[in-house]
Structure 1
């Protein structure tokens, strides 16, 4: 049991909880974080960025858990902790295995709940959100209605999940095709999202200095999930933020190029307020969404 570094309740985290996953080639390892008190707790299923794992994103997972959410983090097959060879036959469909991981978590909530001492009977299964960073944003987006043209089957399948009521997409890729660099088009053929059917309410978070090496368009590319999707959406644009958005990927992790504790604290506050609003828990989104002018802006549709 640990106490959050930010204001909030003490939390408990259990890892790994192992889910059998026939056809995946590896069991699915999951981390569950939850407040030690409270009932009817809403759930966030979080998808990590490429190469990361259940061990990352403490600044978000700990904060959300300390403020009343159960946060569930699967480790996807592209994680460095799995060590999948480049020539593994599963590689072309890593994006699809990720979505299946998220759905498996939703299917096995009873087991995950039972794995955390004292959590039994405290989940609110009617209030579930999907969130993700970078590649994980596309994964979460699939559950919201985003569709991918599978590079293997050449089909575009609806993988949305009615159990997901809201989403948070952090530093998530935009359109494919001519918007990709030649390297991205060659090595990441699944980066061709269609946002036209992503109707579930979502908050899109983008940095105005996140100049991705995967796109020729610059930072505006990361706002596509907002502008190209229908339905209720909000966009948080963070001034000066690069791909790590100030340090959400972990505490003092080397991959953070724009370390900014004030920015991370802002993301914590805004994402919490949005999720509480979108899931019908509290109506403080308007009050909480006012930003210091030097930090960024929020727009909604």
Structure 2
């Protein structure tokens, strides 16, 4: 059994918990997830089975869509609702839909984010959250990410006890910290803020509507219908260009051989190699020979 299970990760579970559960349900050892979701976050988490684990890096490096809620009024050390409060300011002025929409649009495009202190990013061999837990000062790195779109969710405004909440949908590049985005949006509106809820609705081409919970997958397993929840490996790399080859070249591809550089495909990123619609491998330009391409992954 090879392929991708579009899992709907529920709150309270880590991504690793889901991998362990699916190993047990599918009775398969070779299982890998495609990007960590925090325990308090729910959403789409594609899980790769057997040979599909070869595409994990390529599926991870895709656009994501989230539904997020930002709360104005106080900020936290973790930038989400789980952390200790570090700054407060009651919201006593009128913030309307147009104010929010105007601010949100300022974040569309390439932006710079400071990596959250409570994250697994390493600085000098140590994870940032380890610095935080040990009260060790550290300069946090910055990174550029891309926001493709960000839209205010109509009728999502809630006001209570000096707090102001609203939701937005964002489509963004890999590596974007939504909790940091929430903090920055709050700052642009003039208030300390944090991310109070988050759902990932799409990643790697897989959406919420086609995802399955662990309970649903278990039910399919008991009915001997696990293939009903399995998508082909090719679904996870549809964002890569395609290079179609003939039968003779297909044999060379399956043997992991280098090939002459094709003229009809861009080589600025890896690409799929297919024969009569069947996925054979992922290739890239040869790092030392500009006239050749070489395999990155081969699917038997």
TM-score relative to the length of structure 1: 0.25
- Greater relative contact order structure (CA < 8 Å, 6+ sep): 2
Greater Rg over alpha carbons, structure: 2
TM-score relative to the length of structure 2: 0.25
